[in-house]
Every structure is written in C-alpha cells, then in structure tokens.
Structure 1
Amino acid sequence: MLKICKRPKSPYWIMRGTVRGQSIEESTGTADKKLAEEIRAKRENEIINEAVYGKTVIMTFAHALADYLEHGAGNKRFLTPLLDHFNTTLLKDIDQHAIDLAAKKLYPNAGPATRNRQVYTPVSAILRHAARKKWCDVPILARPKQPKGKLRWLKPEEAEKLVEACAPHLKPLVVFLLYTGARAGEAIWLDWSNVNLDKAQVTFVKTKNGEARSVPLHPRVVQSIANLPHRDGAVFLTHKGNPYERPDPGKDADTSAGTHIGSAFKTACKRAGLGWIVPGKGKQPVFKTDVTPHVCRHTWATWHYQANRDLTALQKLGGWKTVAMVFRYAHANVEEHAKGIQNLPWGNQGEKSQEKTAIS
C-alpha cells in the first residue's frame, strides 16, 4: 500500500509503496499533510481500479489531450476551451450528449459549421487517438447538420474586376489565390524559401490536410510576384509592409486566415461591384457580398475543371483528401453537358416540327 513521507530538502509529501505489484514513488505536489493523504488515497484507488478494470475507468480528457499533443497529432487551436470544459472528465463519460452540451455551452451563438469545427472535430480526433491506445471505445458521433451552401465562383470578367479593384498590397495576393487555389493561410503565410520563380513553382509546406504539395505557377502569377520589391521572409505583406499576423489560439473569433485580409478584400469587392447594398442601422446603406477570399479557391478549381476535365489532377493540386470532395466543381460546370442533352432523340425532330409549322 502507499504511504506518504518526505524527502530531504523537499517541502512536498511523496507517495511511496507497492500496489498490485506496481512500485510507486510520486510527489503529491503539496506540503499540506491532510491534502497529501487525500491525494494518496485517490492515487491508490486509481492504481487498483486500473489493475482490475484497465485504463478505461481512470483516463480523463486531460490525459488524452496531453498525449494527443505529445504525439504531434494536432495543434492547440480550439483545444483550450475544450480542456477547460472537460478537464478531468473520464473518457468513458464523454458521449454524444456530453459533447452536444459542450458545443452549446462553449459556442451558444455559433452556427453548425463553427460548432462542428471547434468542438465535434477536435473532440472526435482526441477520442479516436485515445481509442487507439485502448483508453476508450471508438467514438460514433452525430454532427450538427449544416445547410448546403451555394458554390460561389467568379467568372473571368468578375475576377478581372476584382483584381483591378484591389489595393496595391492586395493585388498580387489575390492574383496568387485565383491562379493557385491556395487556401488563405497557405498564401498569406507563404515564405519566399518555398517559391521558385525560375521553375514557376510554389510549395505549400503546412497545409490543412497535413500533407505538403507543390503547384505550378501561372505566368500571370510569376509576373505579379516577381515585381514585389523583396525576396526574403513572407511573400505577401500588409499595407504597412509587415508580415501578416499568425492566428491567436486564445481568440475564438480568429478562426480563419481570411479574416486577416477580410476588410481590404471586401473593399475591393465593393469597388468591383461584386455585391449589393442593404439598409443598415439608421437606414445607412451597408454593402453585402457573397465573395470571400475562399471564393478565389472555388474559382480556381472551377476554372481548372473547365480547362482540363481532370478531377484527379484537381484533387492533387488543390490538396483535397478524396476525389469526392472535388465533384462539386464538376457540378458547377453543368453547361458542358448541354450539347449531349441536345443530341438526345427527338430533340432535332422537335426543331423540324417547328420548321414545318412555320412553313405551313
């Protein structure tokens, strides 16, 4: 059994002894004897339960999260609120109901997409990591249903208006987004060390799916960034000539790289006429637009499919996990099938019938 005692030169009580054949010598982290005795009893009980029932009865969310990060399985983004919420909750007690409650409590005014991204996805990843270590069962979670959004992309003439309407510091960045399909974060934190103008190629080292990828550069992109006055550090700079700030893990609102260029991008959309005006507070007109920085990625993908009809190449260049994720860009190009529909039986007969009617 465990007993508490003190080491020389240490103010803290330690736990020492053997439980179920396991030799233990651990600090209680306290100089209070009464508290140390409570910690000893709890620890002894944990060891006995683990020996009898396995780790599934003692592993907490905090344990699983720490191990998840230690093994490089993820980053700290969105995890701090989850740790504060679940902390010492046993993994076996984190079920669908517990996660649903956490999502509502942590993000009461957020939509399904935000709750999915900031609660369900990271919690699921941590639980799956724990399940691989036999600390809990593999989670089977139902996620919030998200409304199917319309795939917004720009026609070439719209894209040209947007580029011309951009402020000088934003123009090369928007050209880059439109012709590489880069996510906003991949672009605004791109370093010159990953750009090769001679080979007309860029490499995105840190990506959303965790896999580096290289993309050929369109001549317009090469020309655009070749005219930038610097060749080291960040490729794209703010209007003040500074690199864009990295995301702040402590700010819930800082969830998208696009927010770092959102104001300037929206101003460009307004100048380009890509939006509409609605009454605001005090009947002051407010500009609205459905064109965001991420629309540039949709635009590139749609253009690429129009030009090449190759979903596999599009998947590889865009960094999507599966080809199914790029099918929507084929759906956006439904007009390509018009000729085939017109060639179906009776279509031409209908035209002939109309001609006969006109003659008679």
Structure 2
Amino acid sequence: MATIRQRKATKKYEVQIRRDDWPKITRTFSKAADARAWAAIIESEIERGVFIDRTEAEKNTLGDLLRRYLTEVSCHKKGRDSERYRLISLQQDPIAKIKAAGLSGKLMAEWRDRRLKEVSGSTTNRDLNLISHVINVARKEWGIYIENPVAMIRRPPENRARNRRLAVDEEKKLLAELEETTRSERGTFNEGGSRNPWMRPLVILALETAMRRGELLSLQWKDVFLADRFVRLHDTKNGESRDVPLSIRAYEVLTRLPRHISGRVFPTTADAVKKAFTRAVARADLGNFHFHDLRHEATSRIAEKLDNVLELSAVTGHKTLTMLKRYYHPRAKDLAKKLG
C-alpha cells in the first residue's frame, strides 16, 4: 500500500510504497494530487507485473553514468588510458546533461549526426559502442532501468581499411628525423631529430616485429631472450601471451639498447611516443602516416618471408584470417614479380 505524507520542512509530499515482495519505492512531489496519481500508477503496474523502477534513471544523468563507469569499470581495462580520454570528452558533450530516463533514439541520432561532422564514422561508432556499454552496465549492475537508445539508431558506415605502406625513401626520412637530437655547446637542443632517445629503436622494432605500441612499451628485459632471438609478450590486446621472433635487424637494435633501472625495454610513455612520432612524421613530410601504420607495414613485410598464414598469424597475434587481411597489404608490383 502507498503512504503519502507532507514534509513540514519542504512542504512537499513524499510517497512510499511498501510490499513484502518488492523493495521500498519512494518519490517526492510538490502537489498532493501528483503524489496520489503517481502512487496509483505504480501500484497498478506492480499488480500487473509490468513495473520498472525508474527512480535512479530519473535521478542520474548520462554524465553521472559516464563518471561512475570511469572510476569503477574503465580503470580495470587494458585500454584504460585511451578510454579515459574518450569518457572525459563525452562528459563535456551537451547530451551528458540529459537524465538517463530521458535518453531516446531521437536524441542519440541527433548526437550521432552532430558527431559525424567532427570525426569519422569509425570514431563515431567507437563512441557509440562505449556509450552502449556504459548504459548496459548501468542496467545490469547498478539498477538503473532504461532502454538502451544506442540499439535504436542506425550506425554510420565504418571507414575503409587503411592500406598506407611505407616506401624505402620514406623510411629513411622517418628514421633520420628520429635520430637523437644533438646539443649545442651551450647545452641547447639543435634543430632536427627527436629529443626522445627511445623513439628510433622503438620504431625499428615495430617495423621488424609488427608489435603494437602498447606491447612494445610494456616489454620487459626479463622477457627478452636474445640467445634464442625472440621476445615474450604477456600483455597483448587479445589477452593471450605470444612469442615474437626477432629478425637480425631487431636483434641488433635490442643488443645496443642500454638497460634501464625500471626493467622496461622502452621506459617512455604512450603520450610521449605519440607526440614524438607525429612531429617526426611532419618533419619528414610523410603526410597521413600513423604509428599504427607501422604494424600494417611490418605485417606485409613479414608476409613476404613467411608463406604459411599460420606462421604469420603466430608472429602478429591476429586471431582470424579476416583481421590478418586488414593488415596485409601486398604491393601489386611485388605480386607481379612472383607471377613471373
């Protein structure tokens, strides 16, 4: 049964609905008529077995859900750093101010169209996937009962897979710009080169092994087996460890590297690598070339040496042939030479 009482301090009407087979439901109204009407609706829904408690959904905004997800869920993920930036960016969007109960397919579609004017379809889809997961966690684990509006809208088409290859002269220019910057007699840095001494060997290893940036940065010296020419990765994207063979060039790069007290092979940060690489690409005038394109280039180069697709996937860590094909981009002129 519903109990309605007026609070003396606020003059508002509090409704409490108690049943043995339901948790207590409470709601506050400014008018007594609204309180009685709401109580009648909720009791009717409970009797018919269709009641959904919307209290938390009406109390929390999408921004509240994003913040809670950041502190309780995202912090335990491998890609927490990049996801953190995405979550913070979403919190600054006007849609974050909307109550969870007010989210709809229409609002989500408007957000999608507005987002597509700023970023690509693939980036928009990644944001939609994140919002959808936040809402699903809220529904299943936090007791915030709302329909997932992301499931109601059309998704934008994904970008075409990148097939940017690195020409021989481009590689020379890039590595030249990644040479450690020298200092003048006054101790100031001279122009050209990189101030990060780890960049050049890191990029060469990426080109020789097809390892991801995160895999390279998490690599420890205790997992480098130079005598047998391979490294062991524990923290991979798909959650499985793998052994990556080293070419002669990769082996020589590692043998020349100094050992850092941290035990890491490359004691630098993902943000530092991103900034240093972007600047080097700009100085080398390589246009639209990203660090992840090194993995595409490396996969294509290794594929020329390993004809067996199982051996190739063992090196790169791709789980399916479909994913492997996204990273293997043979040049037509090289295939023509094989045809004879």
The aligned residue for residue 103 of structure 1 is 112
Query: Does residue 195 in structure 1 map to residue 203 in structure 2?
Result: no
Partner of 2:101: 90
Determine the C-alpha separation between the residues in 2 that align with 1:4 and 1:314.
72
Q: Which amino acid aligns with 1:326?
A: L
**In the superposition, relative to structure 1, how do residues 152 and 3 fare at CA in structure 2: closer, same or farther (>3 Å)?**
same
Change (3 A) 1:140 1:5: closer
Deviation at 1:219, TM superposition (A): 3.6
Q: Deviations over 1:133-168 (max 9, x none)?
A: 896479365332345365112245643553344223
TM superposition shift of 1:102: 1.6
Please say if 1:121 is aligned against 2:150.
no
From 261, 264, 275, the equivalent of 2:276 is 261
Secondary structure of the residue aligned to 1:202 is: strand
CA distance in structure 2 between the partners assigned to 1:71 and 1:324 by the alignment = 30
Q: Is the 8 A contact 1:112 1:145 kept in 2?
A: yes
Structure 2 distance, partners of 1:45, 1:22, is 16
Report if the CA contact (8 A) 1:197-1:222 is conserved.
Answer: no
The answer as to whether partners of 1:192 and 1:231 remain within 8 angstroms in 2 is: no
User: Amino acid of the residue matched to residue 18 of structure 1?
Assistant: R
User: Which whole-Å CA distance do the structure 2 matches of 1:322 and 1:328 have between them?
Assistant: 10
- The residue number in structure 2 matching 1:142 is 154
Query: Which residue identity lines up with residue 323 of structure 2 in the other structure?
Result: M
RMSD: 4.8
Shift in alpha-carbon separation, 1:149–1:206, aligned structure 2, 3 A: closer
* Equivalent position amino acid for 1:22 in 2: W
The reply to whether residue 153 of structure 1 matches residue 138 of structure 2 is no
- Residue equivalent to 1:298: 296
Q: Deviations over 1:267-323 (max 9, x none)?
A: 5x62xxxx4xxxxxxxxxxxx523332221111110111111233443443343532
Task: Choose from 166, 175, 184 the match for 1:163.
Answer: 175
Cα 1:204–1:290, aligned 2, differ >3 Å: closer, same or farther?
farther
Kindly tell me: are residues 266 and 336 of structure 1, through their superposed partners in 2, closer, same or farther at Cα, counting changes over 3 Å? closer
* 1:98 shift after superposition: 3.1
Q: Deviations over 1:234-291 (max 9, x none)?
A: 4324xxxxx3266xxxxxxxxxx86333344325x62xxxx4xxxxxxxxxxxx5233
Question: SS of 1:305's equivalent?
Answer: helix
C-alpha displacement at 1:81, in angstroms?
A: 4.4
Match of 2:205 in 1: 176
**TM-score (normalised: structure 1):** 0.60
Question: In structure 1, the residue corresponding to 2:215 is in which secondary structure?
Answer: helix
Q: 1:354 — aligned with what?
A: none
Alignment of 1:1-360 (within 5 A): 1=2, 18-19=18-19, 21-24=21-24, 52-53=49-50, 55=52, 60=57, 62=62, 70=72, 75=80, 76-77=83-84, 78-82=86-90, 85-86=95-96, 88-90=99-101, 93-95=103-105, 97-105=106-114, 108-117=117-126, 119-126=127-134, 136=147, 139=151, 142-148=154-160, 151-155=163-167, 158-160=170-172, 162-168=174-180, 169=197, 170-187=199-216, 189-192=217-220, 195-198=223-226, 199=228, 200-207=230-237, 209-226=238-255, 227-237=257-267, 243-244=268-269, 259-266=274-281, 270=284, 275=285, 289-335=287-333, 337-338=335-336
8 Å CA contact retained: 1:181, 1:296 = yes
Contact kept in structure 1, 2:161 and 2:326, CA below 8 Å: no
**Residues 15, 319 of structure 1: alpha-carbon distance in 2 compared, 3 angstrom cutoff:** farther
Look up the equivalent residue of 2:208 and give its one-letter code. Y
- SS of aligned partner of 2:156: coil
Give the count of matched residue pairs: 294
* Aligned equivalents of 1:221, 1:179: Cα separation in 2: 6
Q: How far did residue 185 of structure 1 move? A: 3.4
1:222 is paired with a residue whose SS is: helix
Q: Which residue does 1:351 correspond to in 2?
A: none
Change (3 A) 1:34 1:113: closer
Identity %: 19
* Residues 70, 87 of structure 2: 8 Å contact kept: no
User: d(CA) in 1 for partners of 2:277 and 2:39?
Assistant: 51
Structure 1 residues 141, 124: closer, same or farther in 2, change over 3 A? Answer: farther
Q: 1:213 to 1:104 in 2, by over 3 A?
A: farther
CA spacing shift, 1:186–1:49, aligned 2, 3 Å:
farther
Q: 1:116 to 1:3 in 2, by over 3 A?
A: same
- SS of residue in 2 equivalent to 1:53: coil
What code does the residue aligned with 1:306 have? E
**Which residue of the partner structure matches residue 189 of structure 2?**
none
Q: Do the aligned residues in 1 keep the contact of 2:224 with 2:231 (CA within 8 Å)?
A: yes
* SS state at 2:175 partner: helix
* Kept after mapping to 1: 8 A contact 2:42/2:51: no
Find the aligned partners of 2:215 and 2:55 in 1 and give their Cα distance: 40
In structure 1, the gaps of 5 or more residues are 7-13, 238-242, 247-256, 276-287, 343-360
